[in-house]
Structure 1
């Protein structure tokens, strides 16, 4: 892939031109991330409000009608519903791994099959997350398998 960056006159609007034969999924994801305006990911701990970079999130989990954001060392509470998070970040590296979990593919270290068609994902922080059998095809598609 060839990348060219040109300086433009002050006051001109930046422009991105993409030349390709056929746009693939990764190119479409890049285009979406450039053009979309995601809500800021907000997490709460005690009385503090935190702005979280989605790339730092390992997974989101719903427990007792509350959604939690799991990062490397901290866990935050979110006011979003899990389905809202799934929709907002589906074109990033996130996918629904089970009824209660949305997982960041970029944080997976390894994947192992376990009983009854389920998978177990070992994350970069050492945690293990189960992937329900109904969501395994989604994972395989996202990984290009």
Structure 2
């Protein structure tokens, strides 16, 4: 892959031009990554609003009609619904792991098959999250297995 960087006049808007024979999954992932670098997520702790980089999120979980954002050491509450977060961040490596969980694939340390076709994901922060059997094929596809 050839990369060319050109300086532009002051005040001009930066532009990225992609030239390719066909768009594949890795190129789409790169495009989504560039576009989403400016996306931030709002997490609440009490009345305080915290700005969170989506790359720092391990998973989102819905519990008792509330949605929580799990980072390495802190948990925040989100005003968004789980399906909204899933849609917004699916191109950043997030996927639906169960009815109540959306998981960041890049935070998975290891996977272990468990009973009835489920998987257990050990995350980089030591937490374990279960992946329902109906979502295992989606995970396998995202991991190219």
| Range into which the TM-score falls when normalised by the shorter chain | over 0.9
Unpaired segments of 5 or more residues in structure 2? none
Q: Deviations over 1:34-78 (max 9, x none)?
A: 346976311111221101000000000001111000000000011
> Following superposition of structure 1 onto structure 2, how do residues 60-75 of structure 1 map, counting pairs within 5 Å?
60-75=60-75
Deviation, structure 1 residue 13: 3.0
Unpaired segments of 5 or more residues in structure 1? none
Task: Give the Cα–Cα distance (whole angstroms) in 2 for the partners of residues 14 and 138 of structure 1.
Answer: 35
What secondary structure sits across from 2:27 in the alignment? helix
Moved more, 115-124 or 23-32: 23-32
Task: Give the Cα–Cα distance (whole angstroms) in 2 for the partners of residues 89 and 66 of structure 1.
Answer: 18
Task: Give the Cα–Cα distance (whole angstroms) in 1 for the partners of residues 71 and 35 of structure 2.
Answer: 26
Deviation, structure 1 residue 15: 2.0
- Given that residues 62 and 82 in structure 2 are in contact (C-alpha distance below 8 angstroms), is that contact kept between their aligned partners in structure 1? yes
Q: Deviations over 1:66-115 (max 9, x none)?
A: 10000000000111110010111111110000000000001000111111
Matched, 1:42 2:50: no
> Following superposition of structure 1 onto structure 2, how do residues 99-110 of structure 1 map, counting pairs within 5 Å?
99-110=99-110
Deviation, structure 1 residue 119: 0.5
Question: C-alpha root-mean-square deviation of aligned residues, in Å?
Answer: 1.7
The count of corresponding residues between Structure 1 and Structure 2 is: 145
- Given that residues 66 and 78 in structure 2 are in contact (C-alpha distance below 8 angstroms), is that contact kept between their aligned partners in structure 1? yes
- Given that residues 38 and 88 in structure 1 are in contact (C-alpha distance below 8 angstroms), is that contact kept between their aligned partners in structure 2? no
What secondary structure sits across from 1:130 in the alignment? strand
- Given that residues 69 and 77 in structure 2 are in contact (C-alpha distance below 8 angstroms), is that contact kept between their aligned partners in structure 1? yes
Structure 2 match to 1:31: 31
Deviation, structure 1 residue 122: 0.4
Structure 2 match to 1:4: 4
